[in-house]
């Protein structure tokens, strides 16, 4: 029955339990395809669409408030309709998704870059270092990230002039979401590092006087990074939601480079007057994007963490 030896790497890949579980979870397969398509649509927007919805001179007010192509009055050039300034909704969504994805991914990267080292140091050293780091993390965990991000954003808004603020708005947003979410990564990494620390191979490494930095980097890090990355997948979804929420509240990215949240906020004003497509299509895109990422994250957690199965 054992035939692994005779298979090529491709055969092993297809035969692997993870691949099997992936292929037998149609929801995960669909979610992955949708995510990949959305990433392509977002980052290849300049190639895929000729509209430049956020270049001020390129809009024509005569095109304003066009409904989607299948509604009376809709035209096929603007498949999902246009907004109050004649922007093509589909193109706006593509560019908006690009901003949302960028902020989501980079802010999670920042959280990980802070959380993993702190978690490893806390878990490996224990003692007061651990207590100090985890106390701070605990306190921060009790305050929702969205509030922290709001505060950081509010402070920068107050201390910078509005022109400067507009320029740095996206980096500030990334930093505020990133700073607001590191504790959960630190927690997971720490518990992993505490388990690893007690293992014999670490004792052996200490015995032959391997420098601590090397132990942390070469031995602890590779063993604790997995679970953290799985949680990070869901973290991307959360970060996208936070960004959209902040932008919706009008304290996120500026309207000149709108994200999905900004588009929803702009469109929300027209909801009562019947131009539902301006807000509902970006909203739908946002939900599908977040749901897909969540589905992938859920599957990853179930597959690689049998404890939770």
Partner 1 sequence: MVNFILNRILQSAIVMFVVALISFFLFNFVGDPISNMVGQETTVHDMNALRERLGLNDSVIVQFGRFILDALNGNFGISYRLQRPVDELISERMPATLELVFVSAVIAMVLGVAGGLFTGLKRDHWLSKIILTSSLVGVSLPTFIIGILLIYIFAVKFNWLPSFGRGEVVDLKGGWSTGLLTVSGWKAIILPSITLALYQTTLILRIIRSEMLEVMRTDFIKFARARGLKSRDINYGHALKNTLIPVITVAGLQIGSLIAFSIITETVFQWPGMGSLFIQAVQFADVPVMSAYLVLVAFFFVIINLIVDLLYFVVDPRLRSEIKN
Partner 2 sequence: MAVVDISNLCIEFPTRRGVLSAVENLSLSIEAGEILGVVGESGAGKSLTGNAIVGLLEPPGHVTAGTIFLNGRDITHLRESEMRKIRGAQIGVIFQDPLTSLDPLYTIGRQLTQTILTHQDMTRAEAKKRAIDLLIEVGIPAPEKRFDAYPHEFSGGMRQRVVIALALCCEPCLIIADEPTTALDVSVQAQIITLLKRLAREKGVATMLVTHDMGVIAEAADRVAVIYSGRLAEIGTVRSIIDNPQHPYTKGLMDSIPQIGQNLKSLPNIVGSMPRLDDRPSGCAFNPRCSKSKDICRRELPNMIAAGDTGQSAACWIYAEGDEYA
Note the residues at the interface with partner 2 (CB under 8 A).
1-2, 20
Q: How far is the CB of 200 from partner 2 (least distance, A)?
A: 21
Please report, as residue ranges, which positions from 242 to 261 form the binding site for partner 1 (by CB under 8 A). 244-245, 248-251
Tell me which of partner 2, partner 1, none is bound by residue 307, counting a contact when its beta carbon lies within the kind-specific cut-off of 5 to 8 angstroms. Answer: partner 1
State the Rg of the chain over Cα. 23
Does 30 participate in binding partner 1 (rule CB under 8 A)?
no
| Distance from C-alpha of 289 to C-alpha of 96, rounded to nearest angstrom | 12
Query: Are the beta carbons of 149 and 242 closer than 8 angstroms?
Result: yes
| Distance from C-alpha of 217 to C-alpha of 10, rounded to nearest angstrom | 31
Q: Which stretch binds partner 1 (CB under 8 A): 81-89, 175-183, 184-192, 266-274?
A: 266-274
SS3 161: coil
Beta carbon nearer to partner 1, 92 or 244 = 244
DSSP 88: B
Q: How far is the CB of 301 from partner 2 (least distance, A)?
A: 21
Helix, strand, coil % in the chain, rounded to nearest 5: 75, 0, 25
Query: Are the beta carbons of 122 and 133 closer than 8 angstroms?
Result: yes
Beta carbon nearer to partner 2, 20 or 70 = 20
Q: How far is the CB of 44 from partner 1 (least distance, A)?
A: 24
Angle, to 10 degrees, between the axis of helix 26-43 and the axis of helix 277-304?
130
Please report, as residue ranges, which positions from 161 to 220 form the binding site for partner 1 (by CB under 8 A). none
Tell me which of partner 1, partner 2, none is bound by residue 2, counting a contact when its beta carbon lies within the kind-specific cut-off of 5 to 8 angstroms. Answer: partner 2
Does 137 participate in binding partner 1 (rule CB under 8 A)?
no
Distances (CA, A) of 98 to 43, 47, 164, 206, 235: 6, 13, 22, 46, 17
Binding mask 278-297 for partner 1 (x = CB under 8 A): -xx--x--xx--xx--xx--
Give the interface with partner 1 as residue ranges (CB under 8 A): 139, 141-144, 146-147, 150-151, 153-155, 157-159, 237, 241, 244-245, 248-251, 264, 268, 271-272, 276, 279-280, 283, 286-287, 290-291, 294-295, 298, 307-308
């Amino acid at each position: 029955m054992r035939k692994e030896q005779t298979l090529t790497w491709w055969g092993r890949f297809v035969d692997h339990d993870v691949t099997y579980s992936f292929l037998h979870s149609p929801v995960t397969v669909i979610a992955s395809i949708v995510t990949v398509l959305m990433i392509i649509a977002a980052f290849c927007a300049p190639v895929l669409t000729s509209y430049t919805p956020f270049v001020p001179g390129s809009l024509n007010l005569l095109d304003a408030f066009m409904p989607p192509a299948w509604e009376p009055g809709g035209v096929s050039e603007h498949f999902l309709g246009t907004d109050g300034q004649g922007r093509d909704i589909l193109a706006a969504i593509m560019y908006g998704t690009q901003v949302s994805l960028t902020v989501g991914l980079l802010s999670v990267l920042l959280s990980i870059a802070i959380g993993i080292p702190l978690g490893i140091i806390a878990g490996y050293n224990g003692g007061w270092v651990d207590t100090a780091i985890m106390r701070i993390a605990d306190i921060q965990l009790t305050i929702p990230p969205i509030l922290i991000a709001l505060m950081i954003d509010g402070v920068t808004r107050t201390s910078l002039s509005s022109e400067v603020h507009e320029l740095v708005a996206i980096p500030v947003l990334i930093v505020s979401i990133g700073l607001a979410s590191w504790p959960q990564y630190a927690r997971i990494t720490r518990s992993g590092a505490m388990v690893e620390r007690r293992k014999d191979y670490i004792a052996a490494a200490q015995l032959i006087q391997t420098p601590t930095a090397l132990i942390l980097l070469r031995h602890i890090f590779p063993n604790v990074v997995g679970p953290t990355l799985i949680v990070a997948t869901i973290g991307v979804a959360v970060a996208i939601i936070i960004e959209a929420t902040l932008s919706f509240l009008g304290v996120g990215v500026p309207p000149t480079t709108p994200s999905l949240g900004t588009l929803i906020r702009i469109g929300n004003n027209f909801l009562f007057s019947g131009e539902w497509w301006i807000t509902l299509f970006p909203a739908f895109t946002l939900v599908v994007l977040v749901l897909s990422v969540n589905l992938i994250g859920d599957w990853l957690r179930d597959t690689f963490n049998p404890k939770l199965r």
